[in-house]
A and B are shown apart, each in its own frame.
Chain A
Amino acid sequence: ELKVEQNPLFLSMQEGKNYTIYCNYSTTSDRLYWYRQDPGKSLESLFVLLSNGAVKQEGRLMASLDTKARLSTLHITAAVHDLSATYFCAGIIQGAQKLVFGQGTRLTINP
């Protein structure tokens, strides 16, 4: 059974700082997904990581995948207030095309 755990679950940081959200998963998942959710809104796809060693970057966000360590990271560089949101990672159950989500990391960026 695939389990996905994120840490931290809550993160408060100052603008301009760097930080990393970690996503660990319990069994083989050769793809990993990152989503963003603003309060009261739906989920928006950020990154799809399709293979070991994959790295994707969009603006101040960078995601990476290490399938051997069963770890994905979402790195925030020089945070700005607009990045305040809840971030979810999700692994996939192979052969079934079902995502399993982590609990989410609520990120608050203070001026």
Chain B
Amino acid sequence: NAGVTQTPKFRVLKTGQSMTLLCAQDMNHEYMYWYRQDPGMGLRLIHYSVGEGTTAKGEVPDGYNVSRLKKQNFLLGLESAAPSQTSVYFCASSSSGRRNEQFFGPGTRLTVL
């Protein structure tokens, strides 16, 4: 099992450009999450999904959109990138049971110039 994978690993954008980050998991997990990690601020939840076709806002959703068309994939979109979106983005997934242990992907380092 590959677990949780993310593409791309690195990306540099100019202000105003758009891009999509892809997260895939092969653990048949119901829940998927997108976080951003900034120095000194831990991880903050952007959006999450509790099942195929559903999405919900997290703590810092502005400037991002998501889609979960297939159970195994969770896409994070930036429509018009801003320098404040420079960060490391992590995807995670978990089962729907009480344990809810989240497994994380390797991360995507995004720089917006």
Contact = CB atoms under 8 A, between A and B. Distances in A.
Given A42-B90, A43-B90, A50-B98, A101 B42 contact: yes
A43 B42 contact: no
B30 to A, nearest CB: 9
User: What's the interface size class on B, roughly?
Assistant: 20 to 34
Contact of B42 (A45, A98, A102): A102
A103 B106 contact: no
Q: Name B's interface SS.
A: loop
Interface centre among A41, A45, A97, A102 (most CB of B within 10 A): A97
Contact of B100 (A42, A44, A97, A100): A97
B106 A48 contact: no
Interface of A: 31, 33, 35, 41-45, 48, 50, 88, 90, 92, 97-104
Interface of B: 31, 33, 40-45, 48, 50, 58, 90, 92, 94, 96, 98-107
